[in-house]
Structure 1
């Protein structure tokens, strides 16, 4: 049974979240809190597995509440955010401070879809409880570690140079749940002189991708912008796909360029990683390095297959460092990954492979 604390200053929203969560027999809402202070009091007293946390609240807002939780009693936290630009900025900060994922409130217009997504995300991040306890243990007040929690082991990997021969001048990154902090970690470790262009398909609402690109640009030596259809592939530059659209590569004459399109309109995810990996593989073949990061589901595995068939190379994030080991697992299980690496090792593997 997953025990949840629901934190929101709106009585209506608290009731709605409780009723949607408890449609799943594996989830029990043990209590609700009307603001951050109320939440901290309850976190200290109750046995909780997951917290859903509103971003904007009186007395103590979501960010300050989250900081306190991660310091004193670290737990998996799902941010429930507004779709405004300020809501996006706050949510991206929350992911840096330790929140595992977020769900935007306007999705609640379609109650069934929102409820399904909410339950799926709560169940996915609940599995991270023991890992979060271990990760934040040195910050937190002493907590007995769960008996089944083993120290994280990174499996040995062969060197990037032998597994993925370079040079390669295009890096394509597919990512979903838990992605923003990992993408930030990787991009901030890449040099301005990187002899490659980077394209990123992150599952994210349209109002979030602009602030996400700005955030990445502020912490990275690369230039990072939200992609526009027809952008040139420039070394030392990274493009984030706008939410609600797809990013890929196409030819203009004999030169490849960035494609931003609404097709396929029926794709389950917008952006879909399949379009990015498939078009990159078809157009640029051996010049592509694909990177599959944390995410729910299997989006990208079909595109990754094309990328590998055309001579592209693929790095998958390992299970221990993923918030959700779904998308990378799909490519590993399909024997498409040249390398399986911890999040901390991916930037140096990109640099080695790109330079060849």
Structure 2
């Protein structure tokens, strides 16, 4: 099967470069090129590509505006190309807000050791999005109340247990009798949207700390943590070396580094390391590295969740956690952008439950609060 790709970029050189790389894979065919968002709208409607690669800064119509209009008229999986700067991070998050599913830096050397690795990465990321169903914007920048009202779609028998936002804020701490001492979540492609869906539903007095690992460049994680913190009732911060884990605070692993822990439950300190400390680990940050450290500190008193993403990062960490008695969940295939990481823990019989992302937060609250 051949997948049809539309390339959108105002640089003739970059379009030629991407076309050459993609068509080195026999399964990928570039069926059209556009030099701005306005041309992209017309070509998406006429060519009906399987995936669109989209630049952010373009004349006539920029990439973010184009994504919004495409998702409103002819939804299609879109992967953004962005710069690894603070401005690039904010623009990329806005593009994900508008409905894009994934992103890559325009300088491939920022994420790959050599040309061959960069080529495979781009080809695989594009193919992973082919065939995915998309339905307009993901609403990353909605208000807290809007996010809660739209995502709170638990079955009726669960709603009364969880109650309204206000009742959860006042009752969760008092009712916490759970064995859990940490919630750990790992994700990659599609993760920013999936994490937002979960974290906007957690109450401010969530009774345990939360550790988050999202595959993301170092220049992106601070901006992503701030955006989530603005949306959520729980506190969300980019993890810093020496931070002590506190209930109701979510710690996002910084991009380009590894996050581990030391100490004992109730007095756990974050250790942020340069990637050289883990020379054989591909992902920076790595779910496996963080989850294995969580297992060492908290043993089995952990609820660990693997969300949408390519590859199998998290499988070994979850295996260690489960051997200690922890509970492992995964996002279900239907609600994933890419069913790679959740599939890895599911087919290995590590995951004990698979949930739609729309219901995940409710299941977390019921499980931890009881």
TM-score (norm 1): 0.88
Task: Give CA deviations for 1:90-118 in whole Å, capped at 9, x if unaligned.
Answer: 11121122111111112256433322111
1:326 aligns with 2:343: no
| More off after superposition, 75-84 vs 108-117 | 108-117
The CA distance in 1 between the partners of 2:257 and 2:93, in whole Å, is 20
Residue number in structure 2 paired with 1:207: 219
Task: Give CA deviations for 1:307-347 in whole Å, capped at 9, x if unaligned.
Answer: 01111111100000111111111111111112110001111
Residue number in structure 2 paired with 1:144: none
Residue number in structure 2 paired with 1:150: none
Structure 1 segment 20-169 matched on structure 2, within 5 A: 20-108=21-109, 110-128=114-132, 131-132=133-134, 135-136=135-136, 166-169=178-181
Task: Give CA deviations for 1:188-237 in whole Å, capped at 9, x if unaligned.
Answer: 11000100111111111111111011111010111111101121111110
Residue number in structure 1 paired with 2:318: 304
Asked if the contact 1:282–1:306 (Cα under 8 Å) also holds between the matched residues in 2, the reply is no
Q: 1:261 aligns with which of 249, 273, 277?
A: 273
Q: 2:288 aligns with which of 263, 269, 274?
A: 274
Which ranges of structure 1 fall in alignment gaps of 5 or more residues?
A: 138-155
Which ranges of structure 2 fall in alignment gaps of 5 or more residues?
A: 138-154, 162-176
Cα distance change, pair 256–42 in 1 and its aligned pair in 2 (3 A): same
Task: Give CA deviations for 1:51-71 in whole Å, capped at 9, x if unaligned.
Answer: 000011111111100000001
The CA distance in 1 between the partners of 2:366 and 2:342, in whole Å, is 21
1:252 Cα deviation from its structure 2 partner: 6.9
Asked if the contact 1:167–1:355 (Cα under 8 Å) also holds between the matched residues in 2, the reply is no
SS in 2 for 1:174: strand
CA RMSD of aligned residues (A): 2.2
The CA distance in 1 between the partners of 2:260 and 2:304, in whole Å, is 12
Q: How many residues align?
A: 330
Residue number in structure 2 paired with 1:292: 306
1:18 Cα deviation from its structure 2 partner: 0.5
SS in 1 for 2:64: helix
The CA distance in 1 between the partners of 2:108 and 2:218, in whole Å, is 12
1:313 aligns with 2:327: yes
Residue number in structure 2 paired with 1:12: 13
Residue number in structure 2 paired with 1:245: 257
Asked if the contact 2:51–2:126 (Cα under 8 Å) also holds between the matched residues in 1, the reply is yes
Asked if the contact 1:281–1:311 (Cα under 8 Å) also holds between the matched residues in 2, the reply is no
Task: Give CA deviations for 1:238-286 in whole Å, capped at 9, x if unaligned.
Answer: 1111111111221179832222212213311011111111111121023
Residue number in structure 2 paired with 1:142: none
Residue number in structure 2 paired with 1:350: 364
Residue number in structure 2 paired with 1:145: none
Cα distance change, pair 86–319 in 1 and its aligned pair in 2 (3 A): same
The CA distance in 2 between the partners of 1:328 and 1:319, in whole Å, is 8
The CA distance in 1 between the partners of 2:287 and 2:79, in whole Å, is 23
Asked if the contact 2:304–2:328 (Cα under 8 Å) also holds between the matched residues in 1, the reply is yes
TM-score (norm 2): 0.85
